[in-house]
């Protein structure tokens, strides 16, 4: 697996989509092994290959990237450039990302109630030490356990929040099921309740609602609730324009507009507003 590291880090989007497609095929012919059953001595790159679904990997798989811009989209108001990373990026060169103008990052911490990103500490602490405003995100698997259980797992493994002006609220990654049915076998009402349970549990523990990452297409198919008054929206759309937002948000907080050469995001506001998001309890 180590021999593939250079390719994976140079072309994370290509590899993420390829692995996501393989996961879908595998899931159709064999049961998925629980990550809790894996030996703790497994190579970290192998752990990533088997269980790490990067943010947006399933959105790119289902919705495509044909219109993905190579350059940052034009912004009318002030904005701040940032990125997100997962185990697929391994140990990140944070000085290089800083020199490229990035100022915030979310690093994947957990998935479901078993997977922990083996590179999380380097990504989360390394970015902070470089000067980034940083946060953690959780890839949801709503058919595996309750929203509250996954909020606790996330919280206990790096997903917490503190109002220091440098730590972003945790983000809940809601996207297509990498193992099967698009909406994880849930009705819109039951998916809404699952997200509400996660969100409320996180708020109870940290005094801050998590951001919700999703695409308009997936949200429209799978969710019926309105989170616009509580949860910041992090929307994925790989185009030169953000397009229609998921119901019922009137504006986005973060926009993921590309995955090349690494997931690219823009914060909708000036740096002082980003700092306020990282400082002010709800």
More confident residue, 219 or 38: 219
pTM here? 0.86
**pLDDT, tens digit, 9 for 90 and up, residues 222-240:** 999 999 999 999 999 999 8
Rounded distance, CA 144 to CA 180, Å? 12
For residues 192 and 200, the answer to whether their CB atoms sit within 8 Å is no
Give me the pLDDT at residue 208, please: 98
**Would you say residue 277 has pLDDT above 70?**
yes
Residue 149: inside a domain, yes or no? yes
Q: Which of 45, 63, 175, 263 is catalytic?
A: 175
Q: Of 169, 181, 247, which is closest to residue 210 (Cα–Cα)? A: 169
Q: Of 45, 84, 111, 263, which residue is the catalytic one?
A: 84
What CATH number did the domain enclosing 137 receive? 3.20.20.80
Taking 70 as the threshold, does the pLDDT of residue 218 lie above it? yes
Calculate the alpha carbon distances from 5 to 15, 45, 94 in Å.
11, 8, 18
Which residue range is the domain that position 116 belongs to? 2-277
In the beta sheet, which residues pair with residue 111?
A: 115, 139
Residues 6+ apart with CB under 8 A from 168: 104, 106, 133, 134, 135, 161, 211, 277, 278
Report the domain count for the chain: 1
Which of the pair, 11 or 245, is modelled with greater confidence?
Answer: 245
Q: Tell me whether residue 175 is one of the annotated catalytic residues.
A: yes
71-124 pLDDT, tens digit each: 666 665 799 999 999 999 999 999 999 999 999 999 999 999 999 999 999 999
Residue the block writes with tokens 């983000």: 171
Strands 254-258 and 264-268: antiparallel
| Neighbouring-strand partners of residue 233 | 212
Report whether pLDDT(31) > 70.
Answer: no
- 184/66 Cα distance (integer angstroms): 26
The pLDDT of residue 72 is 67
Structural domain contains residue 282: no
How far apart (Å, rounded) are the C-alpha atoms in residues 38 and 21?
Answer: 22
Give the Cα separation of 178 and 186 in Å (integer). 15
């Amino acid at each position: 697996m180590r021999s593939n590291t250079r390719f994976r880090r140079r072309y994370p989007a290509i590899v993420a989509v390829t692995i996501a497609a393989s996961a879908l095929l595998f899931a159709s012919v064999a049961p998925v092994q629980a990550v809790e059953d894996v030996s703790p001595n497994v190579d970290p790159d192998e752990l990533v290959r088997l269980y790490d679904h990067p943010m947006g990997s399933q959105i790119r798989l289902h919705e495509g990237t044909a219109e993905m811009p190579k350059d940052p989209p034009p912004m009318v108001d002030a904005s701040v450039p940032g990125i997100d990373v997962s185990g697929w990026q391994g140990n990140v060169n944070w000085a290089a990302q800083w020199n490229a103008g990035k100022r915030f990052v979310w690093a994947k911490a957990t998935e479901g109630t078993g997977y922990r990103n083996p590179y999380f500490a380097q990504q989360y602490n390394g970015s902070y030490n470089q000067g980034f405003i940083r946060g953690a995100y959780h890839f949801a698997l709503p058919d595996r356990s309750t929203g509250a259980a996954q909020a606790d797992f996330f919280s206990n493994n790096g997903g917490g929040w503190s109002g220091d002006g440098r730590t972003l609220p945790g983000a809940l990654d809601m996207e297509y099921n990498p193992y099967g049915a698009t909406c994880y076998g849930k009705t819109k009402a039951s998916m809404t309740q699952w997200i509400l349970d996660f969100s409320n549990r996180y708020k109870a523990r940290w005094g801050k609602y998590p951001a919700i990452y999703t695409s308009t297409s997936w949200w429209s198919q799978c969710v019926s609730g309105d989170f616009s008054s509580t949860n910041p929206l992090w929307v994925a759309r790989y185009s030169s324009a953000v397009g229609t937002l998921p119901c019922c948000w009137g504006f986005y907080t973060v926009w993921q507009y590309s995955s090349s050469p690494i997931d690219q995001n823009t914060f909708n506001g000036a740096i002082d507003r980003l700092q306020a998001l990282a400082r002010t309890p709800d």
